[in-house]
Every structure is written in structure tokens, then in C-alpha cells.
Structure 1
Amino acid sequence: MADMADRLNLPLLDACGVMPGEAVLDLASGAGEPALSAAKRVGPGGSVHGVDLVEAMLAGAVRRASAFDGPPPRFTVGDMTALPFADGQFDGVTCRFGIMFVPDTRACLAETVRVLRPHGKAAFMVWGPLADNTLFRELDQAVTEILGPDPADALAPLFRFDQPGTLARLMEESGLRDVSEQSLRPTARVPLEKPFWRASLDMAFAPRISAAPADSRERLDAAITARFAALAVEGICALHLHAMIVSGERG
């Protein structure tokens, strides 16, 4: 999935206007992207700092950064609604598929504006509608088929900002200006024989799977494999994605 990751990371950095020599903050860095891609772009004259609330996630980012060719990003455990940085410290703030999980979006955006320098830019990537995202759509349908409807609607947070204008309005209210949206609709073509869906299944549906009967995982894996096999052509499955980038500038 590395090629697909680049097709998401690089447009996000473009929307943020990341340039050589700049200081960039990456929110909800997770396993290290797009912080690692940003570090390549800013080069030795710049700096990248990633934060994530989950220390175990950042352990993977730190491990990847140790093999980085050039000055690596720094990673810190931190809360997006109470960032451990000084006012006006960064030229750009990025966030890939993270802001939808923050209960207090306004507090997160206020902190984003606070740590940005004047004319600094922020760019957030969120998912478009579930129906437009093959991977999550098929996983959701398979889980429902085997485990039944989810009363907690575990996928709801992922698609919290799936409608145009939803996040943009909050960003404008936070004080960001010239807010714009763009849609990305890349397609990943992956070999059916690879368990490309497993990480997303474990991430998005972990609570449901852990509470399910012991034999359900084997049935669930079989149902998922069958669904993607039905979509495959000559052993290759096309995964259509719909993501949106919402960006704005600090006045």
C-alpha cells in the first residue's frame, strides 16, 4: 500500500504548502506519516515534529525514523487539544485521518491556529463517504453479515466529516482564512493473495471482534476474502478511495 500512501501524503503536503527549510507539525502521526514524507521535503534546513496521543503507535514511528536518510522527524506523545509547543512555532500543520477522532474539534483547531506562524497553513485529510471507499465499505458489510448490525456504529467517527463544508466551517470559525477543499479519488490495485485488509479490520473493528464468539474470526476472514474475491479481476482487487483535504491559512 506504499504507493497509495504517497498518493495521499504528497497532496496533503502540497495543500499545506510545505517547503524546504520549514518547521512542520504533524498531528495524529500514528505510525509516522505524513511526518516522514514531510521530513524529506523540508530537508536538513527544516524540522518536523509529530505528535500522537497513543504512545504505542508512536513507537512504530520512532522505529521508522531511526532508519531515515537525513534529519529524522521528532515524535512526542501529546494531545491535539493541548499541544506542548510555543505560540507561532510552525510554518505548517498537517493531519492525516486524525481530526475526526478528536471529541473537541474546536479546541484542536484553536491549538492549531495558536502554534502556527502568521500566514502559516494547516491541512487536514478526512474520509469522504463510506460508499465511496471500497475497503471500509466491504469490511463493514462483512462484519455486519457475520456479527450483525453494530449498535455502537464503530465506523461513524471515521466518516464524521465526510460531507463537503462540514470541517471547512469549523476551520473558518477557528480563525483560519482562505479555507478550501479538494477531493482525492485514487485507486489502489492490490493482489488478492495479500491480506491488505487486515490492518484496517483490526483498527476499525477491534472492539466488536474482541467481544465476538471465538469462532467468529475465522468466519469473518472467510467472508471478507469472498467479498474481495468477487471484486477482483485476474487476481487483482481495485480499491477505490475518496478522501478530502481541507486547508486554510492563519491570518
Structure 2
Amino acid sequence: MADLADKLNRPLLDAAGLVEGCRLLDLASGAGEPALSAARRAGPDGLVVGSDLVPGMMAGAVRRARSVEGPAPAFTAADMTALPFADAAFDGVTCRFGIMFVPAVETALREVRRVLRPGGKAAFMVWGSRAGNGLFAEIGDAVADHLGEDGSLDPLFRFAPPELLSDLMRAVGFAETSETDLTPVRKAPAGQPFWHAALDMSFGHRLGGLTAEQRKALEADIARRFDARAVDGIVPVPSHARIVVGVAG
């Protein structure tokens, strides 16, 4: 997934206005991106702080940071709804595919605005429509056919409707907002289980009770669906993401 991730990271950091010397907070950093890429761009005179609600999620990010050359982010546990940072501490805030999982989203947005300096930018990346995201659409349809639909993917697409997140940002005091859609297409090799991690991540809670035969049948169906899309041995996997930017007043 690294190639697709890079195609999404770069425009997100651009949208946040990240340049050398900036101070940036990355929320829901997980395994470390885009915080690691941001630290290289901010340079030795900048500061990038990566954060996640669950400290254990950042263990891989910390290991990766130790192995890269050049500037690295600092990592700390942080709850988006009660950020442990001073007012106006950052020039920018990024969050890649994290804001949709926050129950008290308006509280989180107020906190993001608080820690931004006036004129600073918050850039959130969210998924567009399920239909436009081939990876999730195919996996979700296969799981629904085998196990029934239970709404497991609904949180991923919470902010798929245009302007929904922008409206919330303006409601908590962001001076202006803008939205940009991205539709990169990943080219995956046919016959390879590139979809396996997404299956476990999105549906692991449903797969534990399956027998070995049921799991095998489900995975064979998913593989068949993707391989049917292949052209010259390559499976095109479309994605639809949206970057929502707010400027702190």
C-alpha cells in the first residue's frame, strides 16, 4: 500500500501548508504516516508531533522513526477531544483517515482549532463514497454475500457526503474551508492477496468465528472478484479520498 499512501500523503501535507521550519501536529498517526514524511519536509528547523489515542498503535511508528535518516517526528499519545498542547502551538494539523472514528467530532474540531495559530490550517483526509473505493467495495460486497451486511464499513464513509465535514468545521469557528477530491488508482498484481490486510482490519471482528473452510471460501471469492478486474495481469483498484481544509481564524 506504500505507493498509494504516498499519493495521498503528499497532497495532504501540501493542503496543510507544510514547508520547512513549520510546526505540525499529525493526529491518528497509527504506524507513522504522514508524520514521518512531514518531518522530512519540515526539516531540522521544524517540529512534527505524531499522535494517536492508543499508545500501542505507535510502537511501529517509533521503530520506523529510529531507522530513517534526517529529521524524525516526536510521538505521543493524545486524545483528539482533549489535546495536551498549548493554544496556538502549531502552524498546521493533519489527520489522515482518523476523524471519522471520533464520536465527539465537534469537540475534537474545537481542540484542533485551539492548538492552531491564527491563520494555521487543519487538513483532514476522509474517504469519499464506498462505490468509488474499489478495495473496500469489493471486500465489503463479498463479506455481505457470505455473512450478511452489518454496517461494518459505515464508519469509514461517515464523511463521504461533500461539505458535511466542512459544515462542522465552520460551525466550531474555522474561518473558511475548502474541499479537494483525489481519485488515485492503485495497480496491484493479479493473484496476490494485496487486499488481505484491509479484510482483517475492517472485518476481523466477524472473521474470528468462521471455520477454516468458511474463511477459505470467503478469501477465494475475494481473490476471484479482484482477478476478474485484471488487465494484462494488473488489477486496477480505484480510490476516492477527500481533503477538507479549514483555516483558523
TM more than 0.5: yes
> Is 2:157 aligned against 1:132?
no
Contact 1:100 1:158 in 2 (8 A): yes
Q: Residue 224 of structure 1 aligns to which amino acid in structure 2?
A: I
- Deviations 1:133-153, CA, capped at 9 Å, x for gaps: 000000001111222222xx1
- Deviations 1:96-146, CA, capped at 9 Å, x for gaps: 000000001001101101111111110000000000100000000111122
Residue 145 of structure 2: aligned partner: 145
Contact 1:38 1:48 in 2 (8 A): yes
Q: Determine the C-alpha separation between the residues in 2 that align with 1:193 and 1:67.
A: 32
**Secondary structure in 1 aligned to 2:208?**
helix
**Relative to structure 2, which stretch is displaced further, 196-205 or 159-168?**
196-205
Where structure 1 has 5 or more consecutive residues not aligned to the other structure, the ranges are none
> Post-superposition shift, 1:78?
1.6
Q: Determine the C-alpha separation between the residues in 2 that align with 1:74 and 1:211.
A: 39
> Post-superposition shift, 1:55?
2.2
- Deviations 1:18-38, CA, capped at 9 Å, x for gaps: 110011000000111110111
Residue 218 of structure 2: aligned partner: 220
**Relative to structure 2, which stretch is displaced further, 122-131 or 62-71?**
62-71
* Matched pairs, number: 249
> Post-superposition shift, 1:213?
3.7
Residue 118 of structure 1: aligned partner: 118
> Post-superposition shift, 1:214?
4.2
Counterparts of 1:156-167 in structure 2, within 5 Å, are 156-167=154-165
Q: Determine the C-alpha separation between the residues in 2 that align with 1:77 and 1:217.
A: 35
- CA RMSD, 1 decimal: 1.0
Where structure 2 has 5 or more consecutive residues not aligned to the other structure, the ranges are none
Q: Determine the C-alpha separation between the residues in 2 that align with 1:244 and 1:113.
A: 20
Q: Determine the C-alpha separation between the residues in 1 that align with 2:237 and 2:119.
A: 37
- Deviations 1:4-56, CA, capped at 9 Å, x for gaps: 11110000011110110011000000111110111111011101001111222
Contact 2:191 2:223 in 1 (8 A): no
Residue 188 of structure 1: aligned partner: 186
> Post-superposition shift, 1:225?
0.5
Contact 1:28 1:96 in 2 (8 A): yes
Contact 1:187 1:238 in 2 (8 A): yes
Contact 1:52 1:77 in 2 (8 A): yes
Q: Determine the C-alpha separation between the residues in 1 that align with 2:47 and 2:214.
A: 46
- Deviations 1:65-113, CA, capped at 9 Å, x for gaps: 1112112101112211111111111100000000000001001101101
Q: Residue 232 of structure 2 aligns to which amino acid in structure 1?
A: E
**Secondary structure in 2 aligned to 1:66?**
helix
Q: What percent identity do the matched residue pairs reach?
A: 57
> Is 2:39 aligned against 1:11?
no
Q: Determine the C-alpha separation between the residues in 2 that align with 1:124 and 1:149.
A: 28
Residue 32 of structure 2: aligned partner: 32
Q: Determine the C-alpha separation between the residues in 2 that align with 1:3 and 1:214.
A: 32
> Is 2:175 aligned against 1:168?
no
Q: Determine the C-alpha separation between the residues in 1 that align with 2:117 and 2:186.
A: 36
Counterparts of 1:15-164 in structure 2, within 5 Å, are 15-150=15-150, 153-164=151-162
Q: Determine the C-alpha separation between the residues in 2 that align with 1:53 and 1:223.
A: 35
Contact 1:147 1:212 in 2 (8 A): no
Q: Determine the C-alpha separation between the residues in 2 that align with 1:237 and 1:33.
A: 25
Residue 197 of structure 1: aligned partner: 195
Q: Determine the C-alpha separation between the residues in 2 that align with 1:179 and 1:249.
A: 6
Q: Residue 216 of structure 2 aligns to which amino acid in structure 1?
A: E
Q: TM-score, normalised by structure 1?
A: 0.96
